[in-house]
A = this chain, B = another copy of it.
């Protein structure tokens, strides 16, 4: 069982930010440190998730740059890049570091620019995202990420009878949740017709089946659970699973489910000593509506093939049996790639503290974060629990 805690959490609004990367990240990291009640001298290591700033801004080796801006120079710091799962793999290593006693306090976070500050058009930015696809087998045939998840979802539809209307219900739900999240990129509600009438991007995905390009940053402060005892409002990390899957997708073992997430979920539940029925809510990687369907199935909330009808039936909506993406998810909250993983953990922390206001999940004692990278090739699943 993992024995770590989050003692502080912070994030920026997701949307459009024209500040520099160190400024953007500071707007999440300093609130996280303040929330924990620690200062830069208390931080013993810093792990940073960032996916694409080499490509968008000719900016690499970003960890020490962020550290120096925050007054954290000197301590060990490094950048993790695992596409959309970048800050989750950073978090996994922070948990290992506090559990092994290597460090007492680790700052973990992510930041990304994908909009105006990059100076890139949507096609250019789509190519940047596409860098996570297989360089030799997928990129040359134009396999962008909408196409990738569209292929998986088409198979899901063919095998299980999943419909476009059911997929749309995922987007409608997440926009509803996002309308209650002041930090969401999209704060407006939409309906099924809005989704189905929006332009087709990659069949079966319409524009409103897809998450946006966002800028943003997020951060959490991690300690061992024992060390956390002296802090005000810690939330415990009780399980982590991390697994990968074959790329390119052409040779994956299955195309209607995400094996990396299935394996990672099994590992995370075993680590936490729980099963899917114990989970009260989840933040999942809904880069596309079809991805949320496969996420709730990978997490064992529903049998494979039943994830879409669950959304359509309202089971994953706030007030439903097990709310999914109460933050609005990537779909409505936004998706600043490297910031997404720790942003899920910020939402879990606040929900488990009972601090989520209008979108608070009732009885939130056990939450799960499901973060994926690339062509469903990386998955990190984290189980967090409120302190009794």
A81, B247: Cα distance in complex, Å: 20
A77 is an interface residue with CB less than 8 A from chain B? yes
Please determine whether A131 and B247 come into contact, CB atoms closer than 8 angstroms.
no
A102 is an interface residue with CB less than 8 A from chain B? yes
Q: Which segment, of A91-99, A192-200, A205-213, faces chain B?
A: A91-99
Interface residues on A, range: 35 or more
A54 is an interface residue with CB less than 8 A from chain B? yes
Q: Which segment, of A67-75, A176-184, A296-304, faces chain B?
A: A67-75
A245 is an interface residue with CB less than 8 A from chain B? yes
Tell me the nearest residue of chain B to A88, going by C-beta.
B78
A167 is an interface residue with CB less than 8 A from chain B? no
Tell me the nearest residue of chain B to A248, going by C-beta.
B68
Best-surrounded residue of A64, A99, A131, A135 (most CB of chain B within 10 A)? A64
**A contacts with B: majority SS:** mixed
Please determine whether B132 and A76 come into contact, CB atoms closer than 8 angstroms.
no
Please determine whether B244 and A127 come into contact, CB atoms closer than 8 angstroms.
no
Q: Which residue of B54, B93, B99, B244 contacts A55 across the interface (Cβ within 8 Å)?
A: B54
Q: Which residue of B61, B74, B377 contacts A83 across the interface (Cβ within 8 Å)?
A: B61
Q: Which residue of B52, B127, B378 contacts A78 across the interface (Cβ within 8 Å)?
A: B378
Please determine whether B247 and A64 come into contact, CB atoms closer than 8 angstroms.
yes
Chain A positions near chain B (C-beta within 8 angstroms): 20-22, 51-52, 54-55, 57-61, 63-65, 67-68, 73-83, 89, 92-93, 96-97, 99-100, 102, 127-128, 130-132, 134-136, 139, 242-248, 251, 259, 263, 373-374, 377-378
Beyond contacts A68-B377, A79-B82, A99-B100: 20 other A-B pairs, Cβ-Cβ < 8 A, are A22-B136, A51-B60, A52-B54, A61-B377, A64-B244, A64-B377, A65-B247, A67-B244, A73-B244, A74-B243, A74-B245, A75-B243, A76-B244, A78-B80, A78-B82, A80-B80, A96-B97, A96-B100, A96-B102, A100-B100
What are the 10 A-B residue pairs with the smallest beta carbon separation, nearest first?
A61-B132, A61-B83, A100-B100, A76-B242, A64-B377, A61-B374, A54-B54, A59-B135, A73-B246, A60-B131
